[in-house]
Structure 1
């Protein structure tokens, strides 16, 4: 029997069954994006037949219920070319619904944009509320979803919404503010709450919290990988707003004061923005995406001094050292992979930006093309 039983619900959140003898469960938490998950189970095991598309799964970890929607299942071929006996079932957590809703609020009135200026957490909540919870078209309402508590965190930000996905808006606001988000499941009320998150500073340079340091020197990590790349990084953004030629509003945003060979420029087309302040924020958002890759990826050893979910968690800034490589960095825990094989469990951390795959590369390139499409 697995340590974390999986509950299964139908699309109306009516309880169907429980699975506690699966082979493998991986839940990948991301600070700025919806979580993803994958479950593997022999198709002949009890209740495996309930793992159908559009059904929900729910699992409790760290005192919190997480739930996801089944979006993919397959029986792959074995090395002998025969159909496997093991289902591979995949999906996103409930935050994946933000990929399915566009920012349509105010697009048919006034300027055609939903312009917001305010505290970052409140702006994030606004776009979820008007596009997912209380949209003008009742067909667009996301069932079971409500807003969690509002702590009014983050600095003042500006955002202009028109036809982006709500997930893209939340990601941009996360880059601008440093905040994250998650959608938690309440088993008793069978509802979901959207919650904005704020990470902690756990570096040695602060005194508010006990510092968290990961290093093979301390026997609290294994399978450590390191990557430092500036191949696709940019540190100066030239952001163009409204207007044409010499009349166009243009601002420059830089990380530091790069000069000579260290200066790497990119043009950001922001014709949907009107003020210099808005252009500066867009430039900072894009530079956060284009920043140099400095990533450490490793497996956390649970018998070390730091307990996952207590001493550190997703979104916290921790200190990582890789002896022999010469890297000592304080970076955000951007991704946590919770692995639950049938013979144990493991936690894998990505400190820094997540290593890009083809999808993330294409998404970053596409952002600069979306401005004209949304006009």
Structure 2
């Protein structure tokens, strides 16, 4: 069944509503912004309102909002014209800011406090008025998530927030609150729905329950490192080096970590552990979910929840967090989920390696 799509501008004026598109995909992610893509025939009602910098809201759900950043028109060999629009969910605007500061901006606190501190400094209440987004707000800080130190200087804000989220295993999102006329940033806390707990009804995706159509399991150590040599201040032989992680023999996998901004051994250790976490083992278990009614999306399970996925034939049972949900609205609607670690792209992997060879 298709979902309705409302079109708003950044002043929250309504510019139309669409429910007869050809296809719509909305991807929600736990640690970073999601994305959407819509295909619709030219000439249909409100198509002309799908303009860049307009906001779409799917099914009138504030957490399923995105900003149009790309549009194109294609004509097929029969003369049919299709408009394609796509863009990120609202948190994607974080890539429009870098963490501008004279010196390293350091903070220690809960994951939620740290994330909201940087969003406040660079989106909501920064010292430079031209960097503020007037319709952006931050939900009240409840101090959720593990305690962590963090520092940043002239880094993309989206990468800073994602880094904190992944390190602290906490999600985040930006909602389009029509009543407040604000885009509201908040953290997202998933539930434990695994078979190992006895508080909430467990959620199991498995062929034996007829609620999953296809599965893919990846267990990779290609980029895995478990010992890091964190390099702090200083040059050559005078540079402070701190070892983080552990491993021995064939199982020891070493990497140099550039932490030149660290000002103390404690800070160097913290930063080294954070950087080393980017070289973790990759374990993912993806699947296409069947709407059988055994577990209802957004009621029994949702993005960020930890569930159990099982394949008896493969001999695999994995408790893992749902880190991505793809909602597909076409003649045959469907859901696809990703669990566990995100497989890094080649670009991300190369960038990660480059960041760790500076100033050796």
Equivalent residue for 1:322? 311
The structure-2 alpha-carbon separation of the partners of 1:295 and 1:239, relative to structure 1 and needing over 3 Å to count, comes to same
For residues 123-162 of structure 1, the aligned pairs below 5 Å read 123-162=114-153
Equivalent residue for 1:364? 352
Q: TM-score, normalised by structure 1?
A: 0.89
* SS state at 1:189 partner: coil
Q: Give 1:313 deviation, angstroms.
A: 1.6
Matches of 1:362 and 1:77, distance apart in 2: 37
Structure 1 moving runs of 4+ over 6 Å: none
Deviations 1:69-118 (A, max 9, x none): 1111122464x5x77521111001111111111111xx23xxx1111011
Matches of 1:45 and 1:126, distance apart in 2: 44
Equivalent residue for 1:72? 70
CA contact (8 A) 2:229 2:254 kept: yes
The structure-2 alpha-carbon separation of the partners of 1:318 and 1:149, relative to structure 1 and needing over 3 Å to count, comes to same
* SS state at 1:117 partner: strand
Match of 1:307 among 296, 311, 314: 296
Matches of 1:68 and 1:366, distance apart in 2: 32
Matches of 1:203 and 1:275, distance apart in 2: 40
Q: Give 1:283 deviation, angstroms.
A: 3.0
Q: Does 1:94 align with 2:90?
A: yes
Matches of 1:136 and 1:190, distance apart in 2: 23
Matches of 1:84 and 1:161, distance apart in 2: 50
CA contact (8 A) 1:176 1:284 kept: no
Q: Give 1:179 deviation, angstroms.
A: 1.0
Equivalent residue for 1:43? 42
Q: Unmatched 5+ residue regions in structure 1? A: none
Matches of 2:335 and 2:164, distance apart in 1: 27
Matches of 1:55 and 1:83, distance apart in 2: 28
Q: Give 1:213 deviation, angstroms.
A: 1.9
Deviations 1:157-180 (A, max 9, x none): 111111112111111111221111
The structure-2 alpha-carbon separation of the partners of 1:286 and 1:77, relative to structure 1 and needing over 3 Å to count, comes to farther
Matches of 2:136 and 2:191, distance apart in 1: 27
Matches of 2:105 and 2:120, distance apart in 1: 13
How large is the Cα RMSD of the aligned pairs?
A: 2.1
Matches of 1:138 and 1:168, distance apart in 2: 23
Matches of 1:113 and 1:165, distance apart in 2: 14
Equivalent residue for 2:201? 210
Equivalent residue for 2:343? 355
Q: TM-score, normalised by structure 2?
A: 0.92
Q: Does 1:193 align with 2:184?
A: yes
Deviates more, 1:15-24 or 1:210-219: 210-219
Matches of 2:56 and 2:269, distance apart in 1: 42
How many residues end up aligned between the 2 structures?
359
Matches of 1:168 and 1:276, distance apart in 2: 25
Q: Does 1:285 align with 2:274?
A: yes
The structure-2 alpha-carbon separation of the partners of 1:121 and 1:272, relative to structure 1 and needing over 3 Å to count, comes to same
Q: Give 1:275 deviation, angstroms.
A: 2.5
Q: Give 1:362 deviation, angstroms.
A: 4.1
* SS state at 1:75 partner: strand
